[in-house]
Amino acid sequence: MAELLEVRWHGRGGLGAVTSAELVARAAISEGKYAQSFPSFGPERRGAPVLAFLRISDEFIRTRTVISEPDIVVVLDPGLLHAVDVTAGLKEDGRIIINSRKSPAELKSEFGYKWPVAAVDATRIARETIGMPITNTAMIGALLKVTEAVKFDSVVEQLHERFGARAKGNIEAMKRAYMETVIRE
């Protein structure tokens, strides 16, 4: 992967979009890659829409701006699909990853997406594995299914570091989402 991978995460305060971007960036760095992650939000409260950005490259990353033309868009809350144009600026060969009970075909039809769509019911997985509807680690699993930007084990290491004793449920959420994500070209 010589080129730059840019991912824009769409979430709500408290769902872990910022943490997701940071964990994947740390995993990339642990593999010797260059990465950056940063949030974009003002004084929002829990539940307000937030953006997080992630860049991964084999080469030094000079740009420090927000990602306006992402390769991948990750949507942690399906309610945002009706509130925000999550595909704004998405590259022609981009991909969309959505937390939804709907199939990728249904989502493509409903929203007219021309890009490949990956969907997984991350909310259900999170409730079953960590006991809360916080979808970030499940959505990391979906991201790993769509792109091999980092190794699964590198993220597992970061989850152990971040969550300690609570890592087990988060790792299970990530594994299940990886297995259950369905992609439609």
The three-state (H, E, C) secondary structure of 81-95, written as one string = HHCCCCCCCCCCCCE
pLDDT at residue 129, as a whole number: 97
Sign of the torsion angle spanned by Cα atoms 74, 52, 66, 148: negative
Closest CA to 112 of 75, 80, 86: 86
Write down the pTM of the prediction.
0.94
Closest CA to 74 of 60, 86, 56, 91: 86
Residue-level pLDDT, tens digit, the chain, 185 residues: 348 999 999 999 888 899 999 999 999 999 999 999 998 866 656 678 889 999 999 999 999 899 999 999 999 999 999 998 999 999 999 999 999 999 999 999 999 999 999 999 999 999 999 999 999 999 999 999 999 899 999 999 999 999 998 899 999 999 999 999 999 98
Domains present along the chain, CATH in parentheses? 5-184 (3.40.920.10)
Q: What are the start-end ranges of the H helices in 71-146?
A: 104-111, 122-130, 136-146
Closest CA to 23 of 143, 175, 162: 162
Q: Fill in the amino acid letter for 34.
A: Y
Residue 174: its H or E element: helix 167-180
